[in-house]
Structure 1
Amino acid sequence: TGKNLIYGGKITKAYENWKLKNHKEFQQKVGGKLYYKGIPTKKYEMYLNSL
């Protein structure tokens, strides 16, 4: 997003919105889960690296 991830000890709204948008796009394109036991899945990691 070009903005700080954390500001004043809290996650910024810009990052939350970016994360939500990308989660929705990933689920529409690939389907499946984003995380397994709190760890990103391999497909989701590959998707994020491609951005």
Structure 2
Amino acid sequence: MLNEARSLNILTGMPWAWMPPGIMIVITVLSINFIGDGLRDAFDPKSSRK
């Protein structure tokens, strides 16, 4: 899906072709980041994050 969105016509005229996969990539990256932060906080109580 993202490979098809490389065309300028699709980027400007058909945003529904690239927005859902792009949003899912952003959500996945943010989820992994937040899970990593939570695990670090849970397993390293001595860290002094403020």
* TM-score (norm. length: structure 2): 0.42
More RCO (CA 8 Å, sep 6+): 2
Whichever structure has more strand as a proportion of its residues is: 1
* TM-score (norm. length: structure 1): 0.41
Whichever structure has more helix as a proportion of its residues is: 2
Q: Who wins on radius of gyration, i.e. which is larger?
A: 2
